[in-house]
Structure 1
Amino acid sequence: LAMLRISGRGGSVDKGEAVKLMASAAKLGEPKAAYNLALLYLDGQTLPQDVKRSAELLRQAADAGLPEAQYALATFYKEGTGVAKDPERAVRLLQAASLADNVDAEVEYAIAMFNGTGTPKNQPAAVALLRKASRQGSAIAQNRLAWVLINGVGVSADKVEGFKWHLVAKTAGKGDPELDKQLSDLPAEDRAKAEAAAKKWLGSK
């Protein structure tokens, strides 16, 4: 009902009533209500901006297992928004959210593992997670996967597969001039294979 009130579906917009309903639901332990209320405190339009209160509500929702809240709270810990910076805690939250198939968390967790930021470096596991997120349609993951496959970092080089993902990411608006240049230097036969593989992937979506 709070979401209907805030959007004006099924009646007029009533943000004050929406906030009251959301707060009541959050107090009763509904994680989605706590998460949505946290976003309102973060946004600062419907409610006065209060990043600390936003962090508290995100923690409530994250502790209840809501992946979106785990990812958002991880960002807070990574950047020190409303909480003290804590890269290790951020990574633990990213890991939890990625296990629940939150694609944004998968990408961030993979990057953390690849670089050893807040967690032991594990490039093979990072690449496997980038593959998963790429198949789930993340253009950022596709771009990162293209880089590691083309340059053979943390995994055996596979230029055809790498440029396939580069071309797929490019269609989603995640272009990369440096990879474009490398693609133009690729032998014509391999370039044709990469283009065919990208076309096949895009056609299956």
Structure 2
Amino acid sequence: MYNAAPYHLGCLYETGYGEDIFKDEGYAAELLTQAADLGHPEANYRMGDAYEHGKLQCPRDPALSVHFYTGAAERGHAAAMMGLCAWYMVGAEPVLEKDEEEACEWARRSAELGYVKAQYAVGYFTEMGIGCRRDILEANVWYVKAADAGDNRARQRLNAIRAAASGGMPMEVGPAKAHNLRKTKSGTKEDNCLVM
């Protein structure tokens, strides 16, 4: 496709190639932006990530990150869908408000495409009732899919659900997690994000 040329050239300038192409992250970002503007899904995703994390000499800019992630997600890019999920989980005023239902919906779309990280996230959202109704059985289905694909967090959640069902401590997955659970119940913020 016509949008692939600036994408591939941008990738070459991102890292450099032999003696002919010197590493130039700024120019790489320009080329990836051209490809993204022409509808290249991976270029859109890479620029969304660049503006989210300040890569390729791009400033951190939630509006541009959401813009590029949306361009990729609308073209079926599963990782970009999870990028949007993350933005909706935390919000980015005034670009977009926090919306757990929208976050869950983007995660679900990504999970349905087979993206393992999203399968775990949908399992977690469904188990906890984040952005959707709470449903342990559906959560279990998503955790099994993610665990079968090698996700260790999904295996831990499955073990915790089984332990809770057999009378063990609910959500217990080891001493460190039990400590965090007690810490969370006492009113302090949990340090680790279990979803992303």
TM-score normalized by the length of structure 2: 0.75
Q: Partner of 2:67 in structure 1?
A: 92
Deviation of 1:178 (Å): 4.0
Question: What is the CA deviation profile of residues 79-129 of structure 1, one whole-angstrom value per residue up to 9, with x for unaligned ones?
Answer: 222222212210111112111111111111112112214521121122122
1:38-187 alignment runs, 5 A limit: 38-46=10-18, 47-81=21-55, 82-117=57-92, 119-176=96-153, 178-187=156-165
Report which of the two has the higher share of helix: 1
Q: CA RMSD in A?
A: 1.8
1:34 aligns with 2:21: no
Determine what percentage of the aligned residue pairs are the same residue: 26
- Provide structure 2 residue ranges, at least 5 long, that are not aligned to the other structure: 167-196
AA aligned to 1:187 is A
Q: Partner of 1:185: helix, strand, or coil?
A: helix
CA distance in 1 between counterparts of 2:100 and 2:59 reads 28
Tell which deviates more after alignment, 141-150 or 73-82.
Answer: 73-82
Distance 1:64 1:126 in 2: 26
Query: Conserved in 1, the CA contact under 8 Å of 2:102 and 2:131?
Result: no
Rg (Cα) greater in structure: 1
Compute the TM-score of the two structures, normalised by the length of structure 1: 0.72
Structure 1 stretch 156-165 or stretch 74-83: which is displaced more?
74-83
- Secondary structure of the residue aligned to 1:39 is helix
Maintained 8 Å contact 1:58/1:70: yes
Aligned residue in 1 for 2:182: none
In structure 1, C-alpha distance between the alignment counterparts of 2:14 and 2:129, rounded to whole Å:
40
Question: Using CA pairs below 8 Å that are at least 6 residues apart, which structure has the higher relative contact order?
Answer: 2
Structure 2 residue aligned with 1:19: none
